[in-house]
Structure 1
């Protein structure tokens, strides 16, 4: 016995069914996630490392710019170390598969 795709289109959902197949997809959530993924993919490993350090400290660009200079220098050193680790990790991955 074979079943064609066109025959399956005629299958109806049971009365009262409200499962995932009946619910509309959240397009705005999907679009938001897709935009976030595109932004992340467009960044270099150094930019992602810097963003990760700022996020770990609960900072955004504005609050980072407003920090006292001595605190910012300490954070810049941490960012430089994170960037260096990211570059080394990328280089190791590249040489491993080259």
Structure 2
């Protein structure tokens, strides 16, 4: 199995995805074939990083997320389900 298809068809949220380890995980997961929702409190930066990955042909979405606010967490999950049609996993780097 190619590393580019290891996660083919999976739908994953990565929190803290605007920079650092979260960004690295989001990139690697998308390159392995998954659809990814990149979520971060740094919403402008996470949207920019997601746009860069989309330009590479990867399927990536982005949304603002403040883990200290339960409604924000709920909105992030709903966004992921709406965009990707479900959810298979979560990488929490925030």
TM-score (norm 2): 0.28
**Higher helix fraction (1 or 2):** 1
**Higher strand fraction (1 or 2):** 2
Report the structure number with the largest CA radius of gyration: 1
TM-score (norm 1): 0.27
